[in-house]
Chains A and B, each alone.
Chain A
Amino acid sequence: MNDKPRILVVDDEPQLTRVLRTGLKSRGYDVLAAEDGSSGIKVFNEWQPDLVITDLAMPNMDGLELCRRLRAISQVPIIILSAKGEERIKVEALDIGADDFVTKPFGIDELLARLRAALRRATVQTTNQVDETVLHAGDFHVDLESRSVTVDGREIHLTPKEFDLLVYFLKHPGKVLTHRTLLAAVWGGDHVEQDQYLRVFVGNLRKKLENDPASPRYILTEPWVGYRFSPHE
């Protein structure tokens, strides 16, 4: 029985898949590569990988369509390899449910860090699904019933919307959350274009949570994309 995490790499650039295959194998991952979205789906169904790394621009089926198809059948973590100039399509992929992105050209350590984080989240999510009333992550302790929040032992008072936003962040630690995703989750589908709401509430949350709101540790900005929540320890 092979218990190495399985990684599926989907990219039409054979040299890059060659490097990733070798590089990831040397770090203890089991790797298969596919050259486009449609063969990616095929390998996914047959092999059931633990994580998918995909390029965006590919012939036949692109990365965006691959994310869409994968999300329809699975919650497998997806990391996008994007290039500058593909920001719009990258955000779209994140909106659909991709977990994270790495911009080309990237160092293998950056990719490995994202990969480890995504795999860790996936394990936490599957084991934590039963506990519904108390959320605990890093410095944060949130009681969903009494709606009380403590950060690093300090009790924090939040407005109902701030509380909802924090709970959503806590449920998706380390994941890149796009403006659209956050707006839809906290304010509902009618408000997905209203980035300014989000900016105000994130600003308020930072003032209440962060020691130095100007250089935040918990709610990190992903420029032009959204936010990433890091609960720390």
Chain B
Amino acid sequence: MPIARTEPRWTRYAVGALGVAAATSILKLLGIHVNSTTVALGLLLVVLFVATRWGSTPALLTSLLAMLCFNFFFLPPFGTFSIAATDNWVALTAFLITAVTAGQLSARAKRRAEEAETGRKEIERLYAELRDAFERASHTEALRQSEKLKSALLDAVSHDLRTPLASIKASITTLLDEVKAQNDGEQTIPLDAESRVEMMEVIDEESDRLNRFIGGLIDLARIEAGELQLRRRWGAVDEIISTALLRAASSTKGRDVQVNIEKELPVVRVDERAVSEVVYTLIENAAKYSPDSTGIMIRARRSDDGMVKMSVEDKGLGIPVDLRERVFDKFFRATRDGDVSSHQPSGTGMGLAIAKGIIEAHDGRIWIESGTGGIGTRVVFTLPIGDEETDQQKGLS
């Protein structure tokens, strides 16, 4: 016991002696009502108490003192250390042996218990230390991974910013060079009107691409910082889909786009603009990654768990099962990073990451399945129908 360790050494012996004195006095007061067996047991109790509390040496001294008191006060002739009857000699010797043995055994038991306790504490301490060390190590590893990820993301971003810039720069310097050469009177084959228009078209389209990319970066940053502000209103699913279809009209031109919305689908409480953006992204992806002649199917219905479930399906190459989660990672492109061969230009790698951010901010879920009959890709998402309690503008946590 930690308290016993703080007590001065002599108190253990004093308590032992006092204990023996007290037991002797009580037994003596009881007078003729006690026989020598009762006395022996009474004194033995004191020895056991001292042994369990303070260990073997105080117990040994208490045993000797108890033996002397037993002899002096309770074995005839009383008041002397001499013993008349032989059987009392046997009793006294038996008492001494019992007291010493019992004292030593209980002291040892106590020591074992203390050792076990110390061992347990040591194990606990080591475990805590190990756990701390492990936590520190995984924290460092996480930091390292995060740094690695950051640098990979930076590479991806700079590549995507520089690619349209390369086309713009090459176009504009081609145009500029011609003007300069003409001014300097050099012999060059002049660009025909068609080529000139083509150069300017490239500049126009690539500037738009840069602008879209930067817009996407800002959206992603907002989602990641938890600053996506949803303006939830009650809205009809068919309106959300038709807005998205209108925006995607140029990329779905000539395609068979089917829209299948369950009758009496309830209105949903969502940020219509954001959800329409998600549907638009999915339609654009479907158009980009499937042959021009194939159809696109958009569905919306009520799911079993009281959510609204929407999906966009194409008849393209499909996405391998092991990439179906990764395509939602920002800047991941199955056509470029995932060895999915395609002759289509790869996108920015942000569309699905943003879509996921928007859907999850609505407490919905988004995932990828194979299309009907195992052909193509079906991107599915769910949205809670919503109730009055979610009226407040809700940010991403």
Q: Which residues of B lie under 8 Å from residue A23 when comparing CB positions?
A: 170-171, 174, 199
Cβ of B226 under 8 Å from chain A: no
B189 touches A19 (CB 8 A): no
**Assembled-state Cα–Cα distance A104/B198 (Å):** 20
Q: Which residues of A lie under 8 Å from residue B345 when comparing CB positions?
A: 12-14
B-contacting residues, A93-124, CB 8 Å: 104-109, 111
> Smallest CB-CB separation from B201: which chain A residue?
A18
Q: Which residues of A lie under 8 Å from residue B346 when comparing CB positions?
A: 59
**Assembled-state Cα–Cα distance A174/B168 (Å):** 28
Q: Which residues of A lie under 8 Å from residue B206 when comparing CB positions?
A: 15
Q: Which residues of B lie under 8 Å from residue A85 when comparing CB positions?
A: 155, 158-159
**Assembled-state Cα–Cα distance A18/B343 (Å):** 16
B166 touches A105 (CB 8 A): yes
Cβ of B233 under 8 Å from chain A: no
B158 touches A107 (CB 8 A): no
A-contacting residues, B145-170, CB 8 Å: 155, 158-159, 162-170
B341 touches A16 (CB 8 A): no
B198 touches A59 (CB 8 A): no
Q: Which residues of B lie under 8 Å from residue A26 when comparing CB positions?
A: 174, 178, 188-191, 195
| Residue from A12, A19, A28, A81 in contact with B174 in the complex, judged by beta carbons closer than 8 Å | A19
Cβ of A27 under 8 Å from chain B: yes
> Smallest CB-CB separation from B194: which chain A residue?
A22
**Assembled-state Cα–Cα distance A48/B271 (Å):** 57
Cβ of B202 under 8 Å from chain A: yes
With both chains docked as a complex, state the minimum distance between the C-beta of B242 and any C-beta of chain A, in angstroms.
31
| Residue from B190, B205, B343 in contact with A15 in the complex, judged by beta carbons closer than 8 Å | B205
Cβ of A83 under 8 Å from chain B: yes
> Smallest CB-CB separation from A85: which chain B residue?
B155
**Assembled-state Cα–Cα distance A12/B343 (Å):** 9
Cβ of B9 under 8 Å from chain A: no
With both chains docked as a complex, state the minimum distance between the C-beta of A60 and any C-beta of chain B, in angstroms.
6
Cβ of A50 under 8 Å from chain B: no
> Smallest CB-CB separation from A110: which chain B residue?
B173
Q: Which residues of A lie under 8 Å from residue B190 when comparing CB positions?
A: 26
Cβ of A88 under 8 Å from chain B: no
Cβ of B335 under 8 Å from chain A: yes
B170 touches A27 (CB 8 A): no
B336 touches A83 (CB 8 A): no
Knowing A84-B158, A85-B158, the reply to whether A108 touches B170 (Cβ < 8 A) is: yes
**Assembled-state Cα–Cα distance A23/B181 (Å):** 14
B169 touches A107 (CB 8 A): yes
**Assembled-state Cα–Cα distance A20/B198 (Å):** 11
B170 touches A106 (CB 8 A): yes
Cβ of B372 under 8 Å from chain A: no
Q: Which residues of A lie under 8 Å from residue B162 when comparing CB positions?
A: 83-84, 104-105
Cβ of B177 under 8 Å from chain A: yes
> Smallest CB-CB separation from A26: which chain B residue?
B191
B159 touches A27 (CB 8 A): no
**Assembled-state Cα–Cα distance A84/B163 (Å):** 11
Mark each residue of chain A from 53 to 79: 1 if its CB lies under 8 Å from any CB of chain B, else 0.
Answer: 000010110000000000000000000
Query: Would you give 29 A-B contacts (Cβ < 8 Å), ordered by A?
Result: A12-B345, A13-B163, A15-B167, A16-B163, A16-B167, A19-B170, A19-B198, A19-B199, A23-B171, A23-B199, A25-B195, A26-B188, A26-B190, A28-B189, A59-B335, A59-B341, A60-B341, A83-B162, A83-B166, A85-B159, A104-B162, A104-B163, A104-B166, A105-B168, A105-B169, A106-B166, A107-B170, A108-B177, A111-B170
Enumerate chain B interface residues (CB-CB to A < 8 A).
155, 158-159, 162-171, 173-174, 177-178, 188-191, 195, 198-199, 202, 205-206, 335-336, 341-343, 345-346
Closest 9 CB pairs of A and B: A107-B173, A105-B169, A23-B174, A105-B166, A104-B166, A15-B167, A108-B173, A19-B170, A105-B165
- Name 10 extra pairs, CB < 8 A, besides A15-B206, A19-B198: A13-B163, A15-B167, A15-B202, A59-B335, A105-B168, A106-B169, A106-B170, A107-B170, A108-B174, A109-B177
